[in-house]
Structure 1
Amino acid sequence: MTEIYSFGILPVIAHAWNKDRTLDIIIVLDSEWLATKLISDLPSVKVITLPKSGGVVPKDAAKDKFRENKIREYFYGPKNNICPHVFTIEFNEIKIYKIGAPQIPDSCLPAGMILKNPYNKILPIAPSPALVHHVLSVSSSNDPEQLLTKNLLGFVVVQHVDSDKRTLTLLSPQPNVKNKLLIVSDILFVDMK
């Protein structure tokens, strides 16, 4: 079971199995590899493999292109008639956060300890070159504890991080970021303009 969990595959199964060992049946959709892995790691559990429904459409390049075009429209307008601003901001002028933490299996926690919902956890992020091309949300909040409940003012894209000068270069529809609390997302936008 630890091997399955370490690959990040179905942490819900790992959680259910580690919690009380009452898992009877697992249904796997369209993955012979995963079904074989589960059968070998959980011999007491019945694993049923089913094909995907005919209506299931995998995420494709068209959806990725659509999202990229919508992000481009946000910064450049529908007909490339808007000129976004590129500006540099110092690390100490902003605070960057990520919402959501990796889930820890119950078996790794001290006995009797129960974690709060990790998906709502607010984690500070240090500016680094790993943020390049990430879309960041600009929060209307001035308090990190209110990031989950306050509105967003807009979005910026990190174009460059200079660790030596401790600055970020941002692409923004406005000339400056008024609010300094930013939320990092997993969405990337590579600006080819």
Structure 2
Amino acid sequence: MGYGEMSADNGAGSASSRQFVLEKEGELRVEVGTDAPLRLRLLDGTAEVFGAEIPRAKWLTVPALEKIAIFTWKGATIELDGISEVEYVADETPMVSYVNVHAVLDGRRARAKSGNDADSSQGPRVIVVGPTDSGKSSLCRMLLNWACKRSWIPTFVDLDVGQGSTTIPGCIAASPVELPLDAFGGMPTEMPAVYFYGHTRASANVELYKVLMKELAQTLERRFSCLSDHKAAGMVINTMGWVEGLGYELLLQAINTFNADVVLVLGQEKLFSMLKKDVLKSKPTIDIVKLHKSEGVVPRNQKVRQQSQNCKIKEYFYGFINDLSPYTLRENFGNISVFRIGVGNQLPVSIDPIGAEPVSDPTRATAININGDFLHAVLAISYADDPDQILSCNIAGFLYVSEIDFESEKITFLAPCPGELPSRILIIGTLKWSDNQ
């Protein structure tokens, strides 16, 4: 997998334009820093990023903090312009093994579509597992894009509350993918089913996480019962990187809850062995496949993770390329009801439930008095008509608390669109963000 470099200066950190000639099955890996975005374009041949084809001769902007792999099956010439932290052509890539998995899944979808009974009409339900920073999200994007190119409509399920691929962090969500995803864009938002967990760590309220997984799975089952094409295309499920102890138990529960029949294990022999031992006991027909993770996957420290979470929230309000203008809404305290789910140390002590009695149920919604700790919080707007429906209802959207005036008892929100709130029932967790970031 050799390559040619056609530039006097192609080192990382240089702002000059440089070109890379990739041979058959070659891969160019690029890491972008926090501030200056990078541009790229395809000069010759064909290439893709996580299964999304790059258009010929068009400059594309790679946003800050992105880490991408530009792969070509037949050869390509790539031009970069701008500053990157790292850029190099890989000696090895696992792409061939990944596309082989896609081919097997494609065959199962075809058989499901031609099935004559209810059981055989179910397409593959693939769950991608592995430790933190093993390339799970990237593999999910590839499998989704390759399926879309074959005219399937797979459903993407995101269980990683720390990342927020479909929406903001702190949620679990699912959405059908009808068209290939943009190379650097967000995940699908058509017909999303979103449940607000409210924290970026599943350990903050494990019981709530379990309940929301079950609610999401039931929602998808109802959807599949009405949409045979979606059912035949199946699911691609992304998971957390917490694979030890309680995290492993949640992983087993996710496999059962979504009735997964293919488990793709990235980058850890121990996890592969544990799953074969524990899952095959109750599901002997399930396929557990070990795949090599890409060597281009880069471990991220807590600071980088926080930056990534902040970027996802900002993207929700301002758009992927800052092309949206959020709106300011002011509401009287008495016009809204704010609830938190569960108790414990996940919220500041000063946010006390209304009334004197403490709540011990980790899945109970409790009304909360508005106070100073709400400032910079991100709240979810529930579709629930009644507090008892909060756990079982989808989320309409999110609000950011930018200002609180206790004298006039008014709270100011940043909202993605103008107009009346779709619901007066809001949910708070530990998710915070600053519009100045």
Instruction: Report whether the alignment pairs 1:100 with 2:342.
Output: yes
Q: Secondary structure at the match of 2:362?
A: helix
Residue 435 (structure 2) aligns with: 191
**Amino acid paired to 1:187:** L
Structure with higher Rg: it is: 2
Residue 405 (structure 2) aligns with: 162
| Larger RCO of the pair (alpha carbons < 8 Å, separation 6+) | 1
TM-aligned CA deviation for residue 178 of structure 1: 2.1
**Amino acid paired to 1:138:** I
Residue 198 (structure 2) aligns with: none
TM-aligned CA deviation for residue 118 of structure 1: 2.3
Q: 2:302 aligns with which of 54, 60, 64?
A: 60
Gaps of 5+ in 1: 1-56, 104-115
In 1, the alpha carbon distance for the partners of 2:329 and 2:320 equals 22
The percentage of aligned residue pairs carrying the same residue is: 27
**Amino acid paired to 1:88:** R
**Amino acid paired to 2:339:** Y
TM-aligned CA deviation for residue 59 of structure 1: 5.0
Q: Secondary structure at the match of 1:155?
A: strand
Q: 2:426 aligns with which of 168, 178, 182?
A: 182
Residue 121 (structure 1) aligns with: 364
TM-aligned CA deviation for residue 117 of structure 1: 6.5
Residue 143 (structure 1) aligns with: 386
**Deviations along 1:77-127, whole A, 9 cap, x unmatched?**
011110000110001110000001129xxxxxxxxxxxx972102111111
Query: Once superposed, which parts of structure 1, at least 4 consecutive aligned residues long, lie more than 6 Å away?
Result: none
Residue 74 (structure 1) aligns with: 316
Cα distance change, pair 140–128 in 1 and its aligned pair in 2 (3 A): same
Cα distance change, pair 61–138 in 1 and its aligned pair in 2 (3 A): same
In 2, the alpha carbon distance for the partners of 1:102 and 1:133 equals 21
Q: How many residues align?
A: 126
Q: Is the 8 A contact 2:396 2:422 kept in 1?
A: no
**Deviations along 1:143-180, whole A, 9 cap, x unmatched?**
00110110000100111111110110000102142210
TM-aligned CA deviation for residue 58 of structure 1: 7.9
In 2, the alpha carbon distance for the partners of 1:82 and 1:58 equals 29
Gaps of 5+ in 2: 1-298, 346-358
Please, what is the CA RMSD of the aligned residues? 2.1
Cα distance change, pair 59–144 in 1 and its aligned pair in 2 (3 A): farther
Could you state the TM-score of these two structures normalised by the residue count of structure 1? 0.61
Cα distance change, pair 120–160 in 1 and its aligned pair in 2 (3 A): same
In 2, the alpha carbon distance for the partners of 1:154 and 1:69 equals 17
TM-aligned CA deviation for residue 72 of structure 1: 0.3
